[in-house]
Amino acid sequence: MRYADLHCDSLTCGEPQANFLHTKTGQLSLDLLVKGECALQCFAVFSRLPFCGAWERALKYIAAFKAAKGELLERGIEPVLSIENGGILEGELWRVEILLSLGVKLFGFTWNDENCLGSPCGTDGGLTAFGKTVAEALFSRGCPADVSHLSDRGINELFSIAQNHRIPLVASHSLCRSVTAHKRNLSDREIRLIADSGGVIGVNFVREFAGAAGVAAHVKHLLKVGGEDVLAIGSDFDGCESPVYPNAGEIPRFFEDVKKAGLTARMIEKLAFKNAERIFR
């Protein structure tokens, strides 16, 4: 089944280079994407901050992504560029326009550390004043925000801003806190906020976040709380150790598992591709 994946870290696993798609040791490669029948893959530009030269390095990764686009398109895979950890803005609003002009389609505000935009999951803080300004700039240009890694308060504040612009919120790689009590997972209230915005939640394959229940249990909970239009995939390949599904070539196993869990063909079609496609059209 053709699918869309809202998050992987394969682009930034090593040095910025155009042949990142041909690694033989990672969880994602061009060959594995083709094997798994990928139709759309988001590639995140990730930087851990503080890091001297993070902005310049991010631009090099974007150049590597652009160099690899043609090869992906030739194999029937639509490449999408995203940002994980918007702290690379380093307080400079003009960088938002640069990123959008370079093709960024999804913008994540934080990773696991506080930055100039806001506070990460598991903390009490929310968006900074600069973070709210960035949200306004992104939403006014039609770019959705990625709330994976963002604090509960930050998600709530982003939702209020997104409502004014009628822009969906996206959790590119998140699971459910009610199923597995981990700070990286979303509360039921946050699932409903994202669904109410017209957004999607990409279920990740991180074993620690899925817990003993398994990924399919999280999919069923998302369906119950947010409805079938919120379902999507966000593997987090090359961003986690020992994922539940070991690489992009094994995605068909995931579909087998959610079918066994009771999802209908229509629900699986939305989960696989249709809901994610809506965000980028």
CB neighbour burial string for 14-34, b if at least 16 within 10 angstroms, e if fewer: eebeeebbebeebbbbbebbe
- pLDDT at residue number 271: 98
- pLDDT at residue number 54: 92
Model pLDDT for residues 44-65, shown as the tens digit of each residue: 999 887 777 899 999 999 999 9
131 by Cβ neighbours in 10 Å (0-12 / 13-18 / 19+) ranks as buried
Gap between the Cα atoms of 269 and 267, Å rounded: 5
35 by Cβ neighbours in 10 Å (0-12 / 13-18 / 19+) ranks as middle
- Per-residue pLDDT at 95 exceeds 90: yes
- CA 90 → CA 1, 131, 132, distances in Å? 41, 11, 14
Instruction: Print the domain residue range for 23.
Output: 3-279
Q: CATH number for the domain including 146?
A: 3.20.20.140
Find the mean pLDDT for residues 258-281: 97
Find the mean pLDDT for residues 144-151: 98
Find the mean pLDDT for residues 157-164: 97
- pLDDT at residue number 18: 79
Instruction: Determine the Cα angle at 85 with ends 183 and 188, to 5°.
Output: 30
Find the mean pLDDT for residues 77-101: 97
Read off φ and ψ for residue 143, nearest 5 degrees: -95, 120
Straight-line distance from the first to the last Cα atom of the chain, in angstroms, rounded to the nearest whole number: 20
Q: Is 0.95 topped by the overall pTM?
A: yes
Find the mean pLDDT for residues 88-103: 97
- pLDDT at residue number 71: 97
Say how many domains are in the chain: 1
CB 169 within 8 A of CB 199: yes
For residue 66, give the 3-state DSSP assignment: helix
- pLDDT at residue number 48: 81
